A and B are shown apart, each in its own frame.
Chain A
Amino acid sequence: MSPPPTDPNFFVNFWNQASYYIGPELWVSLVGLLAIIGFVTINALALIYGELKIAGHIQRRPAMMEVGWHGFLQPVMDAVKLLVKELTTPTGANRFLFIIAPGVVFLPVLVAFIVIPFSETLVVRDINLGLLLIFSFSALNVVGILIAGWASHNKYSLIGAMRSVSQNVAYEIPILLSAMAVVMMTNSLNLNEIIRAQDKVWFIIYQPLAAIIFLIASTAETNRTPFDIPEADGELVAGFHTEFSGMRFALFFLAEYSNMFIVAALFAVLFLGGWRGPVLPGLIWFLLKVYLVVFVVIVARWTFPRTRFDQLMTFSWKILIPFALFNLVFTGLIIKLVG
């Protein structure tokens, strides 16, 4: 056993040594992760508020009004209430899986935030495979949903989970194919590089088809109406999270809204020029674009009925994927001819 440190500079030295071995990047990542957790929470609360308010105004009513100014504190109150609510586990459920499922859904979301460039410099880890990282981690989401549905010991949950898996598998492909068209134009998977490539024209001009496919498929990927069949509150009560109460349910909610932010951010990066824009700082431009896309998704939710399961599948395999493939081939052809 070594004696206790007597050197007054021990901790400073230790810090330096540790930094030398681990590198400052870890600290940046840690701080970034904490900031992300804060941002994810605030963002989700703001989105819930925004969603209900927008829905309310579409539906000719003011929505929440009484808790705080224009109901401003309502999401906070909801969150606090859910935090202190009983966590029920149904009899017959697989306890372990039931408890970890909300975490499995929520954690990949945090990771995906690491590479999102909020502005040219404001990005936790500016890595070369940013796009790939987001896609691979958001694909993990579906594992959590499957676990949640299976562990609940509830047939509604199980049907919801099954639907979710097949839906996610079907819609990953058009997302990847449409994003690939952009990647082919920029030769990079780095999100910042993709944004830099859009210094003159946004890619939505070059790639309108890919943009539409991406928007539709990512709406389906985040399980939102008209593609919310895993939840389908008219049919499956609440789908895969029927049996979850309190904070576990809140985690699903947080994940849903954060996912919405992520796909909107990807859309902004790939097609709307990310943080690019005149006068205002990059961060403001980025958030403006992201929330614009989110707004479109929210309005779609409160306007359309829900599609049926088999129609949803047909739509992906027979319409979106062929069109995305065609778009990809066409893009390749143009690049070959022009460049």
Chain B
Amino acid sequence: MDSSSVSKELVDKLAPIEVREGDYDRTGVHLDLALEPEKIRQAAELLLEAGCFLENLTAVDHVSHREMVYHFNEYSQPFRIVIRANLGPEDEIESIQDLCPAADWQERECFEMLGVKFTGHSDLRRLLLPEDADFFPLRKDFVNPPEAQAPEYHQETDDH
């Protein structure tokens, strides 16, 4: 894949809010695109078709809003593209799970840690925390867990 053509195509089709030629030596990123949240799915589709793989998917809590960060890379030659989007107050973004199975767990993790809701995700449950957890530990306003005591002893169960 010709990386410059892909980046050109991305910029042309998606009309990003901001394009930054990434400072690879300092940030480890070749191309940095800030997009509208609605265009993330389209961008992911383009990148995956071009032969990239989803390297990382996470969010950053900026207190006022949450920012989604996707890192794409490719195997044949290093070309790391970041696409990012600022989420609205309802913290919702379209899921890319069906495009790329790698996003499945990462979206679940992002949901449970930061409370970002992925619309269209087939199975948005807790991944790392117990299934009944109701807090988002990586949010900046998270202070202490709701129950800090050890679990109760329970009768012998027959749970094989």
Q: Using a CB–CB distance below 8 Å, which chain A residues touch chain B?
A: 90-92, 153-156
Contact = CB atoms under 8 A, between A and B. Distances in A.
Nearest to B158: A91
Contacts of B160: 153-156
Nearest to B156: A91
A156 to B, nearest CB: 7
Nearest to B155: A91
A155 B156 CA distance: 18
A156 B156 CA distance: 19
B24 to A, nearest CB: 45
Nearest to A88: B156
Interface in B36-70: none
A156 B160 CA distance: 9
Contacts of B156: 91
Interface string B147-160: 00000000010101
Interface of B: 156, 158, 160
8 contacts: A90-B158, A91-B156, A91-B158, A92-B158, A153-B158, A154-B160, A155-B160, A156-B160
B93 to A, nearest CB: 40
Nearest to A93: B158
Contacts of B158: 90-92, 153
A153 B159 CA distance: 10
User: Can you list the 9 inter-chain pairs with the closest CB atoms, starting with the nearest?
Assistant: A91-B158, A154-B160, A92-B158, A155-B160, A90-B158, A91-B156, A153-B158, A156-B160, A153-B160
Contacts of A90: 158
The dominant DSSP class at the A interface is loop
Contacts of A153: 158, 160
B157 to A, nearest CB: 8
A154 B160 CA distance: 6
A91 B157 CA distance: 8
B90 to A, nearest CB: 44
Nearest to B160: A154
B26 to A, nearest CB: 47
Nearest to A154: B160
Given A153-B160, A155-B160, A156-B160, 6 more contacts: A90-B158, A91-B156, A91-B158, A92-B158, A153-B158, A154-B160
Contacts of A156: 160
A153 B160 CA distance: 9
A90 B160 CA distance: 11
Nearest to B157: A91
A156 B159 CA distance: 12
Nearest to A157: B160
Contacts of A91: 156, 158
Nearest to A156: B160
A271 to B, nearest CB: 44
Contacts of A92: 158
A116 B68 CA distance: 76
A90 B158 CA distance: 7
A155 B160 CA distance: 7
Contacts of A155: 160
B66 to A, nearest CB: 43
A190 to B, nearest CB: 48
Nearest to A92: B158
A123 to B, nearest CB: 46
A265 B158 CA distance: 42
A205 B158 CA distance: 55
A90 B156 CA distance: 10
B102 to A, nearest CB: 28
Contacts of A154: 160
A193 to B, nearest CB: 50
B131 to A, nearest CB: 22
Nearest to A153: B158
B72 to A, nearest CB: 38
A242 to B, nearest CB: 9
A155 B158 CA distance: 12
B155 to A, nearest CB: 10
A305 B115 CA distance: 46
A141 to B, nearest CB: 25
Nearest to A237: B160
A243 to B, nearest CB: 9
A92 to B, nearest CB: 5
A92 B158 CA distance: 8
A91 B158 CA distance: 6
Nearest to A90: B158
A86 to B, nearest CB: 13
